[in-house]
Amino acid sequence: MDFVKMHGLGNDFIIVQNGQADLPEEKYAEAAQRLCAFHWGIGADGLVVIGPDPEYDLRMRIFNADGSEAEMCGNALRCVAKYAWEAGVCRKPRLRIGTIGGLRETTLLTEGDRVTGVRVDMGPPLLKAEKIPVRWPESPVVYGKLTVAEREFTFAAVSMGNPHCVIEVGQVSAFPVQQWGPLIETHPLFPAKTNVEFVTVADAHRVTIRVWERGVGETLACGTGACAAAVACALRGLTGRRVTVELAGGDLLIDWAEHDGHVYLTGGATLVFTGRMDLDW
C-alpha cells in the first residue's frame, strides 16, 4: 500500500488513494487503528482515504486513530488539497471536496509549483442543538451548563460538520485537558460524542486553544475545532469574527464572514514523507 504522511500544524494523517487492492473499503476502520499506532504502525492522528467523486473533484473519508469515522476535518482538508495539487491527482487551484459532513471548497495559495497555504470554505456553522447534536432545549447553545465529576462547565455547542463543545478557561496552557477532555467527550449531553475545545481569549483578535479530539485524544491542532472556538467566542462577544487561533502546532486564521455566514480557515500543510507498507490481514 502506497501512502503519504502529512500534517496540518502537527495534526498528522496517513493519506491513501481509494481502490488499492490491499486496502478494501470494509477494512478502512481496522486499517486506521493499525496504521495510526505509533509503535506498531506508521503513527498518525487519522487515516484519510481519497478518491474520485461523480459530483465533486474529490471525495475524502477520515478515520480516527480508534477506527471511528469522522464527518469533517479542516486540517485533513488542507493536506488533501496540497497533496492533490503537488501529486497531480487533481491539478486545480480550487477543489470541491465531498465529505460525510458535506461539500467543502479549498483554494490553494501557491508560489510557482509550491503550495504555501490553503484556504478552506468550511461552510456555515450549525447552531441548532439537534443538528450539532447536543441535548439542549434552546438554540443556539452559547451558555450551556454541564456537570461532570462534580465540576460544572459553561459551554457553547457548535457543529462544523462535526460536533464541538467550547469551554473558556482562565489559562489554557495549565488546564488539565487529559483529565477533563475524555469525560466531556462522552458526556450524555452529546449523543454522537463531541470534540472539546478549551479556550483562553487574549484579546478581540486572538485566542489560544487546546483540543481534545473525539476518537483521538489531545492533538496539536484541529481545524474544525479552531473554527468552532472562533464562532463561540464571537457569539459571546469576546472577539470579532476574524481571529487568529493559536494552537500547540501553530496558528490558524479564522474568518466568520458576514456576507455569506461561512467560516473560512487559512493555514499550512506539510508533507512529512512518502512510503509503502504491506498489510498482513
The three-class DSSP label of residue 197 is strand
Element at 279 (helix H, strand E): none
Q: Please confirm, yes or no, whether 165 is among the known catalytic residues.
A: no
> What pLDDT score does 113 carry?
79
Joined together, the cell numbers standing for residue 132 give 450539532
- Write the single-letter amino acid at 244: T
Q: CA 128, CA 30: separation in Å to the nearest integer?
A: 33
Q: Are 265 and 254 in contact (CB under 8 A)?
A: yes
> What pLDDT score does 279 carry?
80
> What pLDDT score does 281 carry?
67
Question: Sign (positive/negative) of CA torsion 183, 164, 229, 97?
Answer: positive
> What pLDDT score does 63 carry?
98
> What pLDDT score does 21 carry?
61
Question: Residues 36, 79, 222, 227: which is the catalytic one?
Answer: 222
Q: Are 151 and 210 in contact (CB under 8 A)?
A: no
Joined together, the cell numbers standing for residue 156 give 457553547
- The reported pTM is 0.94
Q: Please confirm, yes or no, whether 222 is among the known catalytic residues.
A: yes
Q: CA 233, CA 225: separation in Å to the nearest integer?
A: 12
> What pLDDT score does 45 carry?
97
217-219 and 206-213 beta bridge pairing: antiparallel
Joined together, the cell numbers standing for residue 126 give 450549525
Joined together, the cell numbers standing for residue 141 give 447553545
The residue behind cell 482515504 is 49
> What pLDDT score does 80 carry?
97
Question: Residues 73, 79, 90, 233: which is the catalytic one?
Answer: 73
Q: Are 2 and 35 in contact (CB under 8 A)?
A: no
Q: What is the DSSP letter of 220?
A: S
Q: What is the DSSP letter of 211?
A: E
Q: Are 62 and 68 in contact (CB under 8 A)?
A: no
Along the 281 residues of the chain, how does pLDDT read in single tens digits?
Answer: 899 999 999 999 999 998 776 788 999 999 999 999 999 999 999 999 999 999 999 999 999 999 999 999 999 999 999 999 999 999 899 999 999 999 999 999 998 878 999 999 999 999 999 999 999 999 999 999 999 999 999 999 999 999 999 999 999 999 999 999 999 999 999 999 999 999 999 999 999 999 999 999 999 999 999 999 999 999 999 999 999 999 999 999 999 999 999 999 999 999 999 999 888 76
